[in-house]
Amino acid sequence: MSMPLGGGTSDFYKDSVAIGAFATMEKGILISCSERNAGPSSYSLSNMAPWITTVGAGTLDRDFPAYASIDNGQNYSSVSLYRGSELSGKLLPLIYAANASNSTNGNLCMIGTLTTDKVRGKVVL
């Protein structure tokens, strides 16, 4: 069942959407709700009940292509939201984000989770 409802968050026992979705889930029906447009930021997700599948969507067809060439001649295409100045043509070392963080979610590259000295001058994956 699709319910295009997004809004604030509250305790599950006070949330009429969560209560109704739980009863529906007990009958074996998948509940899909829309996400509100308040993010991205911490805790901007609504419909957080674990029995609800929350779906976010955009209205713009966007693409953020990024291309990388490694020293063995292989080329890879991916996506990136890098906003800095253009990188030089020289090879840069790679580092996996989780290896450059003391945070449990360092692999997600969230603000403040990466150790500056470990990532400076490197491409972070």
Is 50 in the same domain as 95? Answer: no
Is 51 in the same domain as 6? Answer: yes
Q: Is 84 domain-assigned?
A: no
In terms of residue numbers, what domain contains 18? 2-55
Q: Is 37 domain-assigned?
A: yes
Q: Which two tokens stand for residue 4?
A: 């295009």
Q: Is 60 domain-assigned?
A: no
pLDDT in tens, 25-70: 899 998 888 776 555 665 566 777 888 887 766 666 777 888 888 8
pLDDT in tens, 62-92: 778 888 888 888 888 888 877 778 777 788 8
Q: Is 112 domain-assigned?
A: yes
How far apart are the C-alpha atoms of 79 and 36, rounded to whole Å? 24
Residue 116 is which amino acid?
T
Q: Is 96 domain-assigned?
A: yes
pTM of the model: 0.43
How far apart are the C-alpha atoms of 70 and 91, rounded to whole Å? 8
Structural domain count, the chain: 2
Q: Is 97 domain-assigned?
A: yes
> What per-residue confidence (pLDDT) applies to 36?
63
Q: Is 67 domain-assigned?
A: no
How far apart are the C-alpha atoms of 108 and 71, rounded to whole Å? 26
Q: Is 73 domain-assigned?
A: no
